[in-house]
Amino acid sequence: MAELPEYKNLIGGEYRAAASGKCLDSINPSTGEVWARIPASDRTDVEAAVKAASDAFPAWSALPAAGRAHYLRKVGDIFRQHSEELTRLELLGIGCQARKSNVPSPAGGLAFLWDRAAGLTLDAVTGRSVPLDANTLGITRREPYGVVAAIVPYNSPQGMASSKASLAIAAGNTVVLKPPEQASPAILRFGELLAEVLPPGVVNMVSGRGADVGDPLVRHPDVRKITMTGAPDTARAIQRAAADNLTSCIFELGGKSPNIVFADADLDKAAYGVTTQAIYTTNAGQACVGGSRILIQRSILAEMLKRMKAIAEQIKLGDPFDPETTMGPLISQAQFDKVTGYIEIGKREAELVFGGRYGPELVPSRPGGFWVEPTLFIAKDNTPRICQEEIFGPVAAVIPFDTEEEAIAIANDSRFGLAAGLWTTNLARVNRFIRDIRSGNVWVNTYLQTRYELPFGGIKDSGYGHDDIMEFTVEKTAVIST
What amino acid positions are annotated as catalytic residues? 178, 252, 288, 390
Burial class (CB in 10 A: 0-12, 13-18, 19+), 58: exposed
CA distance 292 to 398: 8
Strand partners for 36: 26
* Positive or negative: CA dihedral 255, 256, 260, 261: positive
Contacts of 119 (CB under 8 A, 6+ apart): 69
Distance, CA of 267 to CA of 307 (rounded, Å): 8
How far is residue 79's CA from residue 13's CA, in Å, rounded to a whole number?
Answer: 19
Q: By C-alpha distance, which of 249, 261, 256 is closest to 299? A: 261
Decide: residue 105, CB within 10 A, 0-12 exposed, 13-18 middle, 19+ buried: middle
Other residues' Cβ atoms within 10 Å of the Cβ of residue 267:
16
Q: What ranges make up the beta strands (E) of 360-472?
A: 375-378, 395-401, 416-417, 419-423, 441-444, 459-460, 463-464
| Of residues 129, 127, 130, the one with CA closest to residue 141 | 127
Q: Rg of the chain over CA atoms, in angstroms?
A: 23
What is the spatial distance between Cα 376 and Cα 305, in angstroms, rounded to a whole number? 9
Strand partners, 140: 477
Provide the Cα torsion 87, 93, 95, 100; round to 10°. Answer: -30
Phi, psi for residue 181 in degrees, rounded to 5: -65, -25
For 277, how many CA atoms within 13 A lie in the half-sphere containing its CB? Answer: 16
Residue 390 near residue 399 (C-beta atoms within 8 A): no
Q: 73 with 114: CB under 8 angstroms? A: yes
